[in-house]
Amino acid sequence: MATATTATTATAEPTTFGQAVIGPPGSGKTTYCLGMSTFLAGLGRRVAVVNLDPANEGTPYACAVDIGELVTLPDVMEALKLGPNGGLVYCMEYLEANLDWLRDRLAPLRGHYLLFDCPGQVELCTHHGALRSVFAQLARWGFRLTAAHLVDSHYCTDPAKFISVLCTSLSTMLHVELPHVNILSKMDLIEQFGKLAFNLDYYTEVLDLSYLLDHLASDPFFRHYRQLNEKLVQLIEDYSLVSFIPLNIQDKESVQRVLQAVDKANGYCFGVAEQRSLEAMMSAAVGADFHFTSTLGIQEKYLQSPEEEAEEQEDMHL
């Protein structure tokens, strides 16, 4: 472990754009960083991936900066007799106390598009302040980041889990304090866990959630908690902040739609790095049919229509 120092002084550094990739364990953050970095390199952007997950060993991408050089989760767990959750919290606090180390490692990457692969512990993005402090310091150094918050799309198949995901996403948006894009990952696998009760746009646009309450009411267990679920749904709808973009990281069109939303959120699309035309900038700024076309395209690719489902059942009977 390195010695603790603190960096808080702001300087007039040139703006560097990037993404802070966050989300629960297993949501596909590392796979996203690999796929997105490959896609960005294909567009001609100079891209670098920064691993901020001290539990992330053997990453499939080349790390330009690796927190493992500063602190690792196994070392912390062994030295301080902590479990994995407490160990991750300590590692992020240690990073917060050694921001000079991070600044020195990032200095040669000015002008690159950065992807920060962050730890998957949910509490770090909803309650604890260390990771938020790191993001805030990066902003003071001139790093303009968008939080790309990944959520496994299979939660859409269970109304109770989807309401939980909405609460987690809302809490993360309010706590992290970055421009924010919520992403439903692994869309190509969504129906392996069951059929969706509604069209995909119901989940991506977070439409009238009272229909989900009706579905929950049919379950004897959740029937006893209807008032609690109503209050949670009311809270989500009162803020009216959460929506999702569907993503299959292996589909270039899907990745492009996510990148368009991210570039709009952090302002990259209004820069001169790729000499965009005024028409292209206005298209990104307005994006009138963006969510509709992205959701419709994903639904046609990965979800069966009622007619296709009926045909499949008919074939099985024959």
2 within a domain of the structure (yes/no): no
| Of 249, 30, 182, residue with least CA distance to 119 | 30
**More confident call, 200 vs 315:** 200
pLDDT of residue 308: 59
- Helix pair angle (99-106, 130-140), 10° resolution: 40
- Residues 204-221 have a mean pLDDT of 87
Answer yes or no: is pLDDT of 23 > 50: yes
In the chain, the number of structural domains is 1
299 within a domain of the structure (yes/no): no
**More confident call, 195 vs 31:** 31
50 within a domain of the structure (yes/no): yes
49 within a domain of the structure (yes/no): yes
The count of other CB atoms within 10 Å of the CB of residue 77 is 18
316 within a domain of the structure (yes/no): no
**What is the rounded distance in angstroms from the CA atom of residue 258 to the CA atom of residue 297?**
13
pLDDT of residue 314: 60
Answer yes or no: is pLDDT of 197 > 80: yes
Residue 240: exposure state from Cβ atoms within 10 A (0-12, 13-18, ≥19): exposed
Adjacent-strand bridge partners of 115: 19, 49
* pLDDT tens digits, one per residue of 92-150: 999 999 999 999 999 999 989 999 999 999 999 999 999 999 999 999 999 999 999 99
Q: Residue 101 — φ and ψ, nearest 5°?
A: -60, -45
**What is the rounded distance in angstroms from the CA atom of residue 40 to the CA atom of residue 255?**
10
Give the tokens for residue 260: 């368009």
**What is the rounded distance in angstroms from the CA atom of residue 178 to the CA atom of residue 146?**
6
Residue 254 one-letter amino acid: S
pLDDT of residue 275: 46
200 within a domain of the structure (yes/no): yes
CATH number for position 152: 3.40.50.300
211 within a domain of the structure (yes/no): no
Give the tokens for residue 40: 């960005």
Buried b (16+ CB within 10 A) or exposed e, 117-141: bbbbbbebbbebebbbbbbebbeeb
SS (H, E, C) 79-99: HHCCCHHHHHHHHHHHHHHEH
Residue 44: exposure state from Cβ atoms within 10 A (0-12, 13-18, ≥19): exposed
**What is the rounded distance in angstroms from the CA atom of residue 83 to the CA atom of residue 89?**
10
Give the tokens for residue 22: 């966050």
Answer yes or no: is pLDDT of 263 > 90: yes
Whether pTM > 0.75 for this model: the answer is yes
* pLDDT tens digits, one per residue of 33-59: 999 999 999 999 999 999 999 998 888
> Would you call 307 helix, strand, or coil by DSSP?
helix
Residue 35: give the domain boundaries.
16-206+242-289
Adjacent-strand bridge partners of 151: 184
**More confident call, 136 vs 293:** 136
**What is the rounded distance in angstroms from the CA atom of residue 62 to the CA atom of residue 224?**
50
169 within a domain of the structure (yes/no): yes
Alpha helices (runs of H) in the chain, residue ranges in sequence order: 29-42, 73-80, 84-97, 99-106, 123-126, 130-140, 159-176, 200-204, 210-217, 220-223, 226-239, 252-266, 278-286, 290-302, 306-317
